[in-house]
Structure 1
Amino acid sequence: MNHPPTPFERTAVDLPEGRLSVVTAGDHGSPVVLLSGAGQDNALLSWRHLLPALAAEHRVFAPDWPKQGHSRPWNGLADHDALTAVVTRVLDYFDLDRVTLVGMSQGGAMALSYAIDHPERVERLVAMAPAGIIAFPPGVHQLLWLIARSRFLNSTLPERMFRTRESVAGFLRRGLFAGPVEDFDSIVEEVLEEARVSGTGSSDWQNASIGPWRMRVDLRPRLAEISCPTLFIQGDKDVGVRPGRTVEAARRVPGARLEILEGNGHWVNRQSPDRVNVLVREFLAEPPA
């Protein structure tokens, strides 16, 4: 499905920690907030195709997370509490009472969490391969915790991995995609540019969400508290968030829908944007329950 080009505007929201950059599109309709992933992701990188698809019928807001994209420099830790506050600040700045939250990976975890803690502000919810629903076996968990705290493993090695076009392309094919991607070359260049500008390594949220013995961010026990219409979208070949985890999470959310995209990896919104766009647009167009 092709959509006419839609201009993207940026709004700078000055906060005590730094300047938060928010991409906006659309001038009428119900508001939708798009929350991107971690690492080298940013608002335009994740939502380049969904933004124009939604802008014809909705007001769309896509913040760059702190320390990603244009939201830098940023003072302080961008952990779970800080990102929760960022979502509230975006809603308050644009005078948005109730919104649809659409989140990918780290953004999916924040969307789920926000719907749990602030149900009065979330009209609908879309979670794509969400983080925050995963646990690791003993040994593996402790190894990941050590990696999160090692500057060499968490920064120096990723810097080498994102140094060349060939290494970035290999990472994308192995870790984020599971098949052909129409604009793959463009994505490689976008990721390279984000790595050059914002650096490499895991996000503060990723590093802070894992404790020495258990996950500090584990939303599974509270998923049943989500009361708004919810759609999960998951690639069946995702190696980052295994499909079974999302299936289990969807079962915990009352009345939730689950769409499994065959032949897709973790980054479904970039591997199959047309399919994802249709799913999200149709979900938003459904009448209230």
Structure 2
Amino acid sequence: MELHGQRYTYRTAGSGSLVILLHGIAASSATWEEVIPRLAGHHTVIAPDLLGHGKSAKPPGDYSLGAYANLVRDLLEALGHDRCTIVGHSLGGGVAMQFVYQFPERCERLVLVAAGGLGREVHPILRAAVIPGADVLLPWVRVAGTRTIGMLVKTMGRFGFRASTDFGETWRNFVALEEPAARKAFLQTVKGVIDLRGQRISATQRLYLAAELPTMVIWGERDSLIPVAHAQRAHDLMPWSRIEIFPAAGHYPHLDDPERFARVLLDFIRATQPLPANAARLRNSLRAGPGMPKQDAFQ
């Protein structure tokens, strides 16, 4: 479909209450292809290609978390949906938390999957993307067919990637950066959330605002991109949340074990009541402030 004069693509299936699936950086809605059929028997599922990703447009412009959240809201509105359970993986987790912050009245539940925005630590391969001239210097952001495939493999090996789902999916995402517009959108997105020290955007200061929102945190114990310790940190900051650690999974638990992922997600939705829309709740929460000492995990 077209939003604001730009192509915005998405996958959809099923019927029932709405579940939105948001992918990670340099990925696309294809990352959910094993999960969507397992959810569609119970829910309407929408998995967009975020702007700058997949088959969606890749214009110059705003690739901030806030801009992504706005577009998710606009997509829901254009498709006639008011509220959703929002599920975000990696960058998509940061977008999901921003969506909850900006549009709490549209959120029934929040599910964070190996989400960004919960700690400084992130794999050096992503920190390297903010080095000045990265689009020229780093082979994995200038893939050009078979000529640089060998260099890409060696680079990923030096960064510690071994044969695994993390390797395969990261490979697929980097190969997609062969398209110049995709490469530019990727670099703009990375620079909005990461600096040379790691993740620069923290959601930890505002998580208390979601205190009544049913929330689940899912992580792979072998995550090579964002450490699993961030899952426990998120759960500590949101003690009302449910936490699920997949022992044999990496950064993509929905790919390592799509059957368990779908089962856990469906069980969470069945076991929780959607948070009713209530404009006074946000106002009261802001006035009351966090119920724990303020802390910034990035300092």
TM-score past 0.5 threshold: yes
Shift of 1:87: 1.3
Give me the whole-angstrom Cα distance separating, in 2, the residues matched to 1:188 and 1:14: 28
Gaps of 5+ in 1: 1-11
Shift of 1:120: 1.2
Gaps of 5+ in 2: 275-299
Q: Which residue, out of 252, 257, 262, partners 1:267?
A: 252
Give me the whole-angstrom Cα distance separating, in 2, the residues matched to 1:52 and 1:173: 34
Give me the whole-angstrom Cα distance separating, in 1, the residues matched to 2:22 and 2:29: 7
Instruction: Tell me the equivalent position of 2:83.
Output: 98
Please tell me the residue identity of whatever aligns with 2:2.
V
Shift of 1:194: 2.8
Q: 1:15 to 1:224 in 2, by over 3 A?
A: same
Shift of 1:157: 2.5
Q: Which residue, out of 87, 105, 110, partners 1:125?
A: 110
TM-score, structure 1 length as denominator?
Answer: 0.79
Shift of 1:109: 1.1
Please tell me the residue identity of whatever aligns with 1:275.
R
SS of residue paired to 1:282: helix
Give me the whole-angstrom Cα distance separating, in 2, the residues matched to 1:175 and 1:270: 21
SS of residue paired to 2:63: coil
Residues 136 and 142 in structure 2, CA contact (< 8 A), matched pair in contact too? no
Residues 215 and 242 in structure 2, CA contact (< 8 A), matched pair in contact too? yes
Please tell me the residue identity of whatever aligns with 1:132.
G
Instruction: Tell me the equivalent position of 1:15.
Output: 4
Instruction: Tell me the equivalent position of 1:43.
Output: 29
Give me the whole-angstrom Cα distance separating, in 1, the residues matched to 2:138 and 2:159: 19
Please tell me the residue identity of whatever aligns with 1:13.
E
Give me the whole-angstrom Cα distance separating, in 2, the residues matched to 1:262 and 1:178: 17
Residues 179 and 263 in structure 1, CA contact (< 8 A), matched pair in contact too? no
Residues 35 and 107 in structure 1, CA contact (< 8 A), matched pair in contact too? yes
TM-score, structure 2 length as denominator?
Answer: 0.76
SS of residue paired to 1:247: helix
Shift of 1:250: 1.6
Give me the whole-angstrom Cα distance separating, in 1, the residues matched to 2:237 and 2:84: 22
Residue by residue over 1:17-62, the C-alpha shift from the partner in whole angstroms, topping out at 9 and shown as x without a partner, is x211121111x200111100002x0012x11111111111111111
Further displaced range: 148-157 or 59-68: 148-157
Instruction: Tell me the equivalent position of 1:150.
Output: 132
Please tell me the residue identity of whatever aligns with 2:16.
G
